């Protein structure tokens, strides 16, 4: 008790009141004491840090993208089975412009914000403002490094990009020099920039016979992605592989089906969806890298739960380091049943 008091900067009597759930202790002091007890590994059941409702605003943009639809569905399911003291509000936006997302982050009176956002000065400013309001922010899917966010909940996108490079290198013989075309959504999102950096680094280090012909911004739009790829296939007939770092998989498959290349390219993309499932089975897609959005959602919410002192947050403890895995699917390890549409 004395050690906890010293670490929290309070009197031992205050520690006694907090741990035995007596009155006359502010929420701020209660949190300091409970966090100090946790950090010191106090072997006893600790009370919840808060007795009031904790409201979390989960902000997701463009639910037309399969990953976002899966994430939104998982957040809805989580909200139905959480501690009754936690309420999840889902804010679904039609576009992902930094100004739109920043405005949504600052709207309303919430205790925490979970958001998928680009790495933009507007987002940095919004996170800083929310921190000044004692409203922690957890970045979901794509990180905003260097910001005042509480945690990042997601996969290692650099390793995902390197994994794509590894398999392209192994599946394209060194005796067959050629080019790779990269399709992305928007490198303003840290996730996409890291995936492309990982791919580029691996190819530069291990595949001198392969060069990146183009990095195309398809904005996760199927028609635009198809058009850009068709043009690239005409300009670069030696393209041997396509890496899609975003969600425009339908556009990639349509461009491959057009038959503009001497032979169909290897195609590595992201997320296991009903469409990529069928594309893998048919051979039009080679591999897909799934980023486990259900685990990301769970980790993000558990970070908030742990921060506010709720019991049951088994995945997230300080320092919050996300280790959500990526899962690689090819035609031979697909689930027996295709994934359900969100």
Q: How many domains does the chain have?
A: 3
Q: Is 90 exceeded by the pLDDT of residue 313?
A: no
- Angle, helices 98-106 vs 121-132, to 10°: value is 10
- Kindly report the pTM of this predicted structure: 0.85
Domain range for 226 is 157-290
Q: Is residue 23 part of a domain?
A: yes
- CA–CA separation, 28 and 2 (whole Å): 19
Q: Is residue 44 part of a domain?
A: no
Q: Is residue 339 part of a domain?
A: no
Q: Is 80 exceeded by the pLDDT of residue 41?
A: no
**What CATH code is carried by the domain that includes residue 135?**
3.40.50.2300
- 275, 165: one domain: yes
Burial 241-262 (b: 16+ CB within 10 A, else e): bbbbbbbbbbbbbbbbeeeebe
pLDDT in tens, 49-104: 545 679 999 999 999 899 999 999 999 999 888 878 889 999 999 999 999 999 99
pLDDT band at 199 (very low <50, low <70, confident <90, very high): very high
What pLDDT does 43 receive? 66
Q: Is residue 100 part of a domain?
A: yes
pLDDT band at 26 (very low <50, low <70, confident <90, very high): confident
What pLDDT does 79 receive? 87
What pLDDT does 101 receive? 98
Q: Which of 82, 74, 32 is nearest to 54 (CA)?
A: 82
What pLDDT does 341 receive? 78
pLDDT in tens, 232-285: 999 999 999 999 999 999 999 999 999 999 999 999 999 999 999 999 999 999
- 185, 208: one domain: yes
- 83, 139: one domain: yes
- CA–CA separation, 315 and 5 (whole Å): 27
Q: Is residue 336 part of a domain?
A: no
Q: What mean pLDDT, rounded, does the chain reach?
A: 92
- 297, 258: one domain: no
Counting Cα atoms < 13 Å in the Cβ hemisphere of 306 gives 19
- 110, 232: one domain: no
- 208, 120: one domain: no
- 81, 14: one domain: no
Q: Is residue 140 part of a domain?
A: yes
Q: How far is CA 286 from CA 132, 276, 328, in A?
A: 47, 10, 10
Q: Is residue 79 part of a domain?
A: yes
Q: Is 70 exceeded by the pLDDT of residue 220?
A: yes
What count of other Cβ atoms lies within 10 Å of the Cβ of residue 46?
A: 15
- 284, 161: one domain: yes
Q: Is residue 146 part of a domain?
A: yes
- 244, 314: one domain: no
**104 vs 310, higher pLDDT:** 104
Q: How far is CA 66 from CA 73, 122, 292, in A?
A: 11, 26, 12
Q: List beta partners, residue 153.
A: 140
């Amino acid at each position: 008790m004395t050690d906890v008091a010293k670490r929290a900067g309070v009197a031992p009597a205050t520690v006694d009141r907090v741990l035995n759930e007596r009155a006359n202790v502010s929420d701020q002091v209660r949190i300091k004491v409970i966090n100090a007890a946790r950090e010191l590994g106090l072997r006893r059941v600790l009370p919840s840090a808060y007795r009031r409702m904790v409201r979390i605003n989960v902000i997701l943009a463009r639910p037309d993208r399969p990953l976002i639809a899966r994430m939104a569905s998982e957040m809805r399911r989580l909200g139905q089975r959480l501690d009754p003291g936690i309420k999840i509000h889902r804010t679904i936006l039609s576009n992902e412009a930094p100004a739109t997302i920043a405005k949504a982050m600052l709207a309303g009176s919430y205790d925490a914000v979970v958001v998928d956002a680009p790495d933009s000065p507007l987002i940095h400013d919004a996170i800083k403002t929310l921190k000044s309001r004692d409203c922690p922010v957890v970045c979901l899917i794509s990180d905003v490094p260097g910001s005042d966010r509480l945690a990042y909940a997601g996969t290692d996108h650099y390793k995902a990009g390197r994994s794509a490079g590894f398999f392209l290198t192994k599946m394209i013989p060194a005796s067959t020099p050629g080019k790779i075309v990269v399709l992305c959504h928007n490198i303003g999102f840290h996730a996409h920039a890291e995936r492309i950096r990982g791919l580029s680094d691996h190819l530069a280090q291990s595949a001198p016979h392969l060069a990146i012909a183009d990095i195309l911004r398809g904005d996760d739009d199927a028609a635009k992605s198809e058009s850009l790829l068709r043009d690239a296939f005409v300009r670069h007939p030696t393209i041997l592989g396509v890496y899609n770092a975003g969600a425009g998989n339908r556009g990639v498959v349509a461009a491959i089906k057009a038959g503009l290349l001497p032979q169909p390219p290897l195609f590595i993309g992201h997320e296991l969806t009903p469409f990529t499932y069928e594309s893998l089975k048919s051979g039009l897609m080679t591999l897909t890298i799934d980023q486990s959005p259900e685990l990301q959602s769970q980790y993000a919410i558990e970070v908030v739960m742990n921060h506010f002192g709720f019991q049951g947050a088994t995945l997230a403890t300080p320092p919050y380091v996300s280790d959500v895995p990526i899962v690689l699917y090819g035609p031979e390890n697909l689930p027996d049943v295709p994934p359900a549409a969100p």
